[in-house]
Amino acid sequence: MDILEDLQWRGAINQCTDLEGLRKLLKTKKVSLYCGTDPTGDSLHIGHLIPFIMLKRFQLAGHHPYILIGGGTGFIGDPSGRKTERSLQTTDQVEHNEKALTAQMIKLFGTENFDIVNNYDWLSKIDLLSFLRDYGKSFNVNTMLSKEAVASRLDNGISFTEFSYQILQSIDFYHLLKDKDIQLQIGGADQWGNLANGVDLIHKKDSKAEAYGLTIPLMLKADGTKFGKTAGGAVWLDPKKTSPFEFYQFWFNQDDRDVVKYLKYFTFLSHDEINALEEKVTTEPEKREAQRRLAQEVTSFVHGDAEMKEAEKISEVLFNGDIKQLSATEIKQAFDKVPSAHAENAITNIVELLVNTEIESSKRQAREDVSNGAITVNGDKVTDVEASIDPADGFDGKYIVVRKGKKNYTLISVGDAVSED
């Protein structure tokens, strides 16, 4: 089975400018290919993983992937998938984001048989007259207006700046073909118009050149909503924005109806392994073996084996309820999204602690909940209203974890630990 057949089995091919031509090319040589991302933020999110994992599959098959970081196009703004104009970024913002994204890319792809390029290096050298004469003449305005990214914006209006984005992306492909012999560009489904434009420009400049565009289907969940968003927003690859534990939990909590599709898209497991997990979803769904393997594979790919194992440990401990097994760092990850409070680094009466941290609205209510066994502190039930809580008793003296009832947690930072949040 060749790589295109594997991608088709995984449901990862949406459109290709010439699928059979690409198949023939891949049988004759190892190719260079690329995918681009603009530095609009300082972290990638899981939506970016969809095309990047395809690049990784090509890399594992011996081909040479490039990531294009749009230091030039990042100053312009891609209209794809947007209803309004993007805010223009400052030079400092773009450069900061470029550095952050570069570090994330290297973590995913390593440094062997992989390169990163920046389109600012060539786009910034094109003067206006050359842009209009050498490239503008190759683009028909009527055709540009018909592209979905532009057509969807016509009612509300689109600036010439964003309208010209598709020309700049086409120039990228042409430049990379000439300079790096890159013959394949990969992108999301919303990039189809831009990829096709790039191939057209190349053929207008050199009718004998071989160049291809390949897009990935729009990822939708079983309920019809777009993949990649949660109630709390995007799921980031930056561990400071989305902890490895939260990242792991995102994948572990996937619906039975989606998990096999995600195993095909986001993991490098073999067909046989995925088919076996699919059988488990049908015969033993309560064990969530497919979800666990998905979470393990993707978390390990993005954050590393050690972080994946730590996330798995936190998950198991929380499920079993014995949080005393966790370190202070693991506690911070596990309870990062629950309500938080601060307490002084001093031994405190349980009732005072609950009222001072606003877990309880009054001393009367605090006493009642303690007496009724509704309060646990660091995993231990507290039923004595005269009990004293010593921060030094757990988690390096940095945190106190209070649970009220079955699910209402509060993470109390102690003393200087509040500065870590």
Domain boundary among 320, 349, 367: 320
- Taking alpha carbons only, the member of 348, 248, 355 closest to residue 308 is 248
Q: How confident is the model at residue 421 (pLDDT cuts 50, 70, 90)?
A: very low
pTM above 0.85, yes or no: no
- The reply, when asked if residue 34 is annotated as ligand binding, is yes
Q: Is residue 221 a part of any domain in this protein?
A: no
Give yes or no: residues 30 and 106 share one domain: yes
Query: What CATH number should be reported for the domain holding residue 265?
Result: 1.10.240.10
Q: How far apart are CA 380 and CA 289, in angstroms?
A: 31
Give yes or no: residues 249 and 155 share one domain: no
pLDDT tens by residue, 8-50: 999 999 999 999 999 999 999 999 999 999 998 899 899 889 8
- Determine the 3-state secondary structure of 294 from DSSP: helix
Give yes or no: residues 234 and 211 share one domain: no
pLDDT at 260: 97
**Domain membership of residue 401 as a residue range:** 340-414
Look up residue 394 and give its two tokens. Answer: 């757990």
pLDDT at 231: 61
Give yes or no: residues 203 and 81 share one domain: yes
Q: How confident is the model at residue 299 (pLDDT cuts 50, 70, 90)?
A: very high
Q: How far apart are CA 308 and CA 81, in angstroms?
A: 32
Q: How far apart are CA 365 and CA 44, in angstroms?
A: 45
The alpha carbon of 317 is separated from its chain's Cα centroid by a whole number of angstroms, namely 26
Above pLDDT 70, what percent of the chain? Answer: 97
- Determine the 3-state secondary structure of 97 from DSSP: helix
Q: How far apart are CA 115 and CA 157, in angstroms?
A: 37
Q: How far apart are CA 181 and CA 393, in angstroms?
A: 62
Query: What CATH number should be reported for the domain holding residue 25?
Result: 3.40.50.620
Q: Is residue 419 a part of any domain in this protein?
A: no
Give yes or no: residues 60 and 112 share one domain: yes
pLDDT at 320: 76
Q: Is residue 421 a part of any domain in this protein?
A: no
pLDDT at 98: 92
pLDDT at 55: 96
pLDDT at 230: 66
In DSSP terms, 409 is beta-bridged to 403
pLDDT tens by residue, 228-244: 766 667 899 999 999 99
- The reply, when asked if residue 165 is annotated as ligand binding, is yes
- The reply, when asked if residue 125 is annotated as ligand binding, is no
Give yes or no: residues 301 and 235 share one domain: yes
Our count of domains for the chain comes to 3
Q: Is residue 420 a part of any domain in this protein?
A: no
Are the C-beta atoms of residues 411 and 399 closer than 8 Å to each other? yes
Give yes or no: residues 164 and 89 share one domain: yes
Give yes or no: residues 61 and 149 share one domain: yes
Does 344 score more than 80 pLDDT? yes
Give yes or no: residues 294 and 316 share one domain: yes
pLDDT tens by residue, 379-393: 899 999 999 999 888
Give yes or no: residues 113 and 152 share one domain: yes
Does 174 score more than 50 pLDDT? yes
Q: Is residue 327 a part of any domain in this protein?
A: no
Q: Is residue 333 a part of any domain in this protein?
A: no
Give yes or no: residues 149 and 255 share one domain: no
Look up residue 94 and give its two tokens. Answer: 């773009």
Does 361 score more than 90 pLDDT? yes
Give yes or no: residues 58 and 171 share one domain: yes
pLDDT tens by residue, 115-166: 999 999 999 999 999 999 999 999 989 888 887 778 888 888 888 888 898 9
Query: What CATH number should be reported for the domain holding residue 371?
Result: 3.10.290.10
- The reply, when asked if residue 166 is annotated as ligand binding, is no
pLDDT at 16: 96
Look up residue 253 and give its two tokens. Answer: 């909590």
pLDDT at 232: 65
